[in-house]
Amino acid sequence: MRFEVTTGPVAQFSGEALVIGIPQGSPGLDDIAKAVDAALGQYITRCLKAEPPVFKAKLGETLILPTYGKLPAAHVVVLGLGKVEELKTSQWRRAVAAAVRACKKLRVKAAAMGFPDAVIQGMGIEAASRLLAEGAGLGQYDFNLRKNLSKAGEDNGELAANGASSLEVLSVIEPQADRLEVIQRGLRVGQLVAEHTNLARHWVNDSANYVTPAFLKQQAESIPGLQCDVLDFDAIKALGMGAFQLVAQGSEQPPFLIHLCYKPSDTPSKKIALVGKGVTFDSGGLSLKPAASMELMKMDMAGAAAVIATLKAVSELKDLNIEVHGFIPTCENMPSGISSKPGDIVTAMNGKTVEVNNTDAEGRLILCDALTYAQRKVDPDELVDIATLTGACVTALGKVAAGIMGTSDTLIQGLQAAGEQAGEKLWPLPLYDEYKVFLKSDVADLINSGAKGQAGSSAGGMFLKEFVDKKRAWAHLDIAGPAWATSDVPEVPKGGTGFGVRTLLYYLYGWQA
């Protein structure tokens, strides 16, 4: 999608669809809506005042009206903004996404919209512009890569277009010419945030026969402006990453530990390391998952996708005085003659021994060595890992929120605040000392799965904490629930959500509404 910024009366837009935002319960229309309503013979007002109302202006509600030549635009999309007092960042983002999806249903290629007064008053012009571009980009997304392949395409691996309608141009119309530069700046940032969230979605949605550890390696290596170093299986073994090695050895797909680095031109204000779990397919190993739940285990690399996409966005946005490192341990977890067996004991990179009583608790095994390596390699001020780690977190928080836990209240609260601005919910879970009982093994320093149905998310966090330096500011994000959507909302269609990309970018850049 391309954004164009123009000045002039919004009602004079001559394209295919004009979007008009209206708050719920508003005593009157703002100037933009009044002009459009007048041209349509007060039809919008009549829809609002009908008993029962034809249009209530609820958040994301749309009413599509043909103009029959009364306006230069062929259609008006009346967009509900929800209640004014609730018009925060997520509400405006979601409303714009709903408008874009309505335009897609109309199969229009060009649409336009201005900024409702309520939006500008609530968040200012630059934030409103950024969130407009985010919502538009997120609402535009559909995963169609593998649909409608031609026979020739199936034979040679090339992909044919699937004919899906997409909005190509969204014109943002602003009557005040002195605001155009600020609007363009906000749109550029929001567009990049949406593009990279969609990139992570794209990788999560694609199948595991395409998205392999080698694929993630290739994507990381292709990012311009970032340093990329990769450890192969021999290097992983040579460094003593016994936990990572044990998970990876059961697959014919070679594993990698990818290290991406962004360095600002000036002295950085701090150094942060992001670690993303990259299990490109998780069968459960010999502790085999049930067939009904295995199909979606292509999404067990959602943490890795979020970290790579975040670093790629930083490389394009630049203008960040923080040194950012991304560490991505990536492999498959498969059953084979050389897979790990329940009861195996391995030595992790930090020297601790681990009894593996459940090969399906593999994420913490690859992460523990990656966390050790990240700390030794770059000694970060802050350490954040993001992973689809536990089904227990889905049980606790559902698909709505990720669990967050760690050693630094400041870091946890900062990420929570960023998530609130980004439209991604993070809910704190405890790491009580009493949970150490879940790590107790009779034959090793630790056991990888000892919770037995109790506090499984916190048990996973407690395991990872054993591999974090005691004074390190560390946060663990368990995104097992929100990484995959099972029903549509305007900005998140079914499938991979790209969860974490926006939160991490909002945290790094400190964007506010």
- Residues noted as catalytic: 289, 364
Give the pair of three-digit tokens for residue 366.
């690859």
Q: What is the 3-state secondary structure (H, E, C) of 129-189?
A: HHHHHHHHHHHHCCCCCCCCCCHHHHHHCCCCCCCCCCCCEEEEECCCHHHHHHHHHHHHH
Amino acid letter for position 150: S
Radius of gyration of the chain from Cα atoms? Answer: 24
Residue 254 DSSP symbol = P
Give the pair of three-digit tokens for residue 218.
């290739």
CA dist 437 to 26, 441, 455, Å?
56, 9, 11
CB atoms within 10 A of CB 487: 8
The CA-CA-CA angle for residues 187, 416, 376, to 5°, reads 100
Is there a contact between 125 and 186 (Cβ–Cβ < 8 Å)?
A: yes
- Phi, psi (deg, nearest 5) at residue 232: -90, -175
Give the Cα separation of 98 and 33 in Å (integer). 18
Question: 231: which residues sit within 8 A by CB, 6+ positions away?
Answer: 239, 256, 257, 259
Going by their DSSP bridges, the two strands 227-231 and 256-262 should be labelled as antiparallel
Burial of 45 per CB tally in 10 Å (0-12, 13-18, 19+): middle
- Phi, psi (deg, nearest 5) at residue 490: -55, -45
- Phi, psi (deg, nearest 5) at residue 49: -100, -5
Q: Beta partners for 171?
A: 4, 112
